[in-house]
Structure 1
Amino acid sequence: MNVSLQGVKIILFDAGDTLLTIPGARDILQRYLAEKELHRDSEKIGFLFDEAFRKFYYEKQSDGTELCSPESDRLFWAGIYSYVLNGLGVDEHHDEEIIHRWSHELYDVFTSPEPYELFGDVIESLKRLKGAGYRLGIVSNFAPTLKAILRHKGILDYFDPVIVSTEVGLEKPNPAIFRLALQEAGAAAEETLYIGDHDKNDIWAPNQIGIRAVKIKRYAYMTGDGIVSLEELG
């Protein structure tokens, strides 16, 4: 599937699971627990991560009007890590206070630059699109560390604007975050294309203000129409 860029002047991207990912998440958690003398199976960790992301993120019922801040982001993801830890039976050995502390430590680990990797098509696609004269930007629900992560991976300078939910106090699927992006870019909706992985956050929400959106399916379990690589743009 090739996506026509006719009439497009600016391409906005989601960040997590669109441009970058943490491929070793289960191994990171496995090592973290092993340091605490808790040895858990990697497959079980991966299953619980997938279950938690699907249950609390991909199937999350939200209109985007809830409080959005660095603190709310931390609480949301720490809740996911608590779910995984409890699913691994950590609560059989440690009390709620310990699990709370470990969940917040894991949030710090998973929002630091080091665990992230760019998908293999990102660098060349950004170079190609930038070279063809398209303006590139980001609209992402992410921790305040996103710009540091993008800088660490060498791609921050490709993007203007970079709209991060926890910095602007708005989050997808609230269409207002896309209005803000257009305002900062000085762009019209009809000349904008958005690429993301989440049906409501990244397809429905930009559509509400007239932005054409395309789903990118980075993982085998993702369904529906869309592309599987940024190489399909243009």
Structure 2
Amino acid sequence: MSISLHGVKAVLFDVGDTLLTIPGSRTILQRYLAERELHREQEHIGHHFDDAFRKLYYEKPADGTELCSPESDRSFWASLYVHVLYGLGIHEDREEEVIHRWSHELYDLFTAPEQYELFDDVKESLERLKLAGYRLGVVSNFAPTLKSILRHKGILDYFDPVIVSTEVGLEKPNPAIFRLALEQAGLSPEETLYVGDHDKNDIWAPNQAGIRAVKIKRYPHMTGEGIFSLRELG
């Protein structure tokens, strides 16, 4: 599938599971627990990660009026890690206070630049689009560490604007975050394309702001129409 960029002047991107991923998330948590003398199989960890993401992230109630702060982002993800730790039975070995502290340590761990890797099509696609004259930007629900992660991966300079939920106080699927991006970039919705992986956040929400959106399906379980690689743009 190829996506025509006819009439498009700017391409905006989601980040998590669109440009970047944490390929070793199971290993990271397994090592974290092992260092605390708790041993769990990676398959078991993966099952509870998947369950937590499905219930708390993908099925998270949303009405398009979402706001955001560094504190609310931390609180959401810490609660997700608590869900995983309870699923793994950690509460049978450690007190609730300890699990709470660990959930915040895991938030810091999973928002650190060194944990992330670019998908293999990212740099070449960004370079190709930039050379072709397209303006590139980011609109992402992410921790305040996002710009340092993009810098660490060598791609921050490709993007203007970089709209991060925890910095602007708005969170997808609130269409206002996309209107803010358009305003900051001096773009019209008609000349802008958005690429992301989440049906509500990355397709429905930009559509409400008049922006055409394309779903990227990075994993086999993802359904619906869309592309499998950024190489399909243009």
Shorter-chain TM range is over 0.9
Distance in 1, Cα, partners of 2:42 & 2:215: 29
Distance in 2, Cα, partners of 1:88 & 1:192: 43
Q: Deviations over 1:4-39 (max 9, x none)?
A: 000000000000000000000000000000000000
Q: Which moved more, 1:157-166 or 1:63-72?
A: 63-72
Aligned pairs, number: 234
Q: Deviations over 1:175-230 (max 9, x none)?
A: 00000000000000000000000000000000012100000000111100000100
**CA-CA distance at 1:64 after TM superposition:** 4.1
Q: Deviations over 1:97-134 (max 9, x none)?
A: 00000000000000010100000000000000000000
**What residue in structure 1 maps to residue 146 of structure 2?**
146
Distance in 1, Cα, partners of 2:231 & 2:220: 18
**What residue in structure 2 maps to residue 222 of structure 1?**
222
**What residue in structure 2 maps to residue 133 of structure 1?**
133
Give runs of aligned pairs for residues 15-94 of structure 1, distance below 5 A: 15-94=15-94
On the 8 A contact 1:64/1:170 being kept in 2, the answer is: no
Distance in 2, Cα, partners of 1:120 & 1:94: 40
Task: Please tell me the residue identity of whatever aligns with 1:98.
Answer: V
Task: Please tell me the residue identity of whatever aligns with 2:125.
Answer: S
Distance in 1, Cα, partners of 2:149 & 2:136: 17
Distance in 2, Cα, partners of 1:85 & 1:161: 36
On the 8 A contact 2:3/2:233 being kept in 1, the answer is: yes
**What residue in structure 1 maps to residue 96 of structure 2?**
96
Distance in 1, Cα, partners of 2:200 & 2:20: 19
Q: Calculate percent identity across the aligned residue pairs.
A: 78
On the 8 A contact 1:69/1:167 being kept in 2, the answer is: yes
**What residue in structure 2 maps to residue 187 of structure 1?**
187
CA 1:64–1:74 in 2, change beyond 3 Å: closer, same or farther?
Answer: farther
Q: Which moved more, 1:50-59 or 1:139-148?
A: 50-59
**CA-CA distance at 1:67 after TM superposition:** 3.8
On the 8 A contact 1:30/1:40 being kept in 2, the answer is: yes
TM-score by length of 2: 0.99
**CA-CA distance at 1:164 after TM superposition:** 0.2
On the 8 A contact 1:195/1:202 being kept in 2, the answer is: yes
Distance in 2, Cα, partners of 1:125 & 1:158: 11
**What residue in structure 1 maps to residue 164 of structure 2?**
164
On the 8 A contact 2:11/2:195 being kept in 1, the answer is: yes
Distance in 2, Cα, partners of 1:65 & 1:135: 28
* 2:201 matches 1:201: yes
Distance in 2, Cα, partners of 1:205 & 1:31: 37
Please list every run of 5 or more consecutive structure 1 residues that lacks an aligned counterpart in the other structure.
none
| Deviation >4 Å, runs of 4+ | none
Distance in 2, Cα, partners of 1:197 & 1:70: 22
Task: Please tell me the residue identity of whatever aligns with 1:140.
Answer: S
Distance in 1, Cα, partners of 2:41 & 2:144: 31
Please list every run of 5 or more consecutive structure 2 residues that lacks an aligned counterpart in the other structure.
none
> Aligned with 1:213: secondary structure?
strand
> Aligned with 1:114: secondary structure?
helix
Distance in 2, Cα, partners of 1:169 & 1:117: 26
> Aligned with 2:193: secondary structure?
strand
Aligned-residue CA RMSD (Å): 0.7
**What residue in structure 1 maps to residue 7 of structure 2?**
7
**What residue in structure 2 maps to residue 109 of structure 1?**
109
* 2:124 matches 1:124: yes
Task: Please tell me the residue identity of whatever aligns with 2:89.
Answer: G
Q: Deviations over 1:67-90 (max 9, x none)?
A: 410000000000010000000000
